[in-house]
């Protein structure tokens, strides 16, 4: 799959290399620059390992991750199990998420985006306290 040039440009400029860590996430695939993934791993080390939720997160999100190099032609090879997880078909969408990007099947993304749009006002109010600048 070809990675859009604007995503590759950010990886090169901000992180110095075109390496990403892929992991299944909701109905998509999350792609973290290597350095951002390391930050996530460091935070995960502080999780209370005896809590069920921590174990589930670590077993699914962290242990399932794979390191992928983007080749000289700007492509990355997504493992079959990840393609199945995200139900990737012909058309895909790359969605920027500040410190990572997500890879979605286009039809699923359009449905999700419509659902997010419907609930955006309620969601915005819920996170307003986090956005204090």
Distance between terminal CA atoms of the chain? Answer: 38
pLDDT reported for residue 125 = 85
CB-neighbour burial class of residue 35 (10 A; exposed 0-12, middle 13-18, buried 19+): middle
Q: Which fold has domain 5-131?
A: Chemotaxis protein chec (3.40.1550)
The band of 126, judged by pLDDT with boundaries at 50, 70 and 90, is: confident
DSSP state of 132: -
- The helix or strand, by DSSP H or E, that contains position 45, with its residue range, turns out to be none
The band of 96, judged by pLDDT with boundaries at 50, 70 and 90, is: very high
pLDDT in tens, 97-111: 999 999 999 999 999
The DSSP result for 48-108, as a single string, is -TTSHHHHHHIIIIITT-EEEE--TTSB----HHHHHHTT--S-EEEEE-SS-EEEEEHHH
pLDDT reported for residue 133 = 58
Sketch the domain layout of the chain as residue ranges: 5-131
55 contacts 130 by C-beta, under 8 angstroms:
no
pLDDT in tens, 12-69: 999 999 999 999 999 999 999 999 999 999 999 999 988 999 999 999 999 999 999 9
Is it the case that residue 129 has pLDDT exceeding 80?
no
């Amino acid at each position: 799959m070809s990675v859009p040039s604007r995503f590759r440009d950010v990886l090169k400029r901000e992180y110095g290399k075109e390496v990403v860590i892929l992991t299944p996430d909701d109905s998509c695939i999350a792609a973290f620059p290597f350095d951002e993934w390391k930050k996530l791993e460091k935070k995960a080390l502080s999780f209370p390992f005896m809590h069920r939720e921590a174990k589930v997160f670590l077993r699914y999100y962290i242990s399932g991750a794979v390191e992928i190099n983007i080749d000289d032609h700007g492509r990355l090879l997504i493992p079959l199990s990840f393609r199945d997880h995200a139900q990737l078909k012909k058309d895909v969408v790359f969605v920027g998420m500040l410190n990572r990007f997500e890879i979605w099947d286009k039809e699923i993304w359009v449905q999700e985006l419509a659902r997010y749009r419907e609930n955006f006002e309620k969601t915005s109010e819920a996170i307003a306290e986090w956005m204090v600048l």
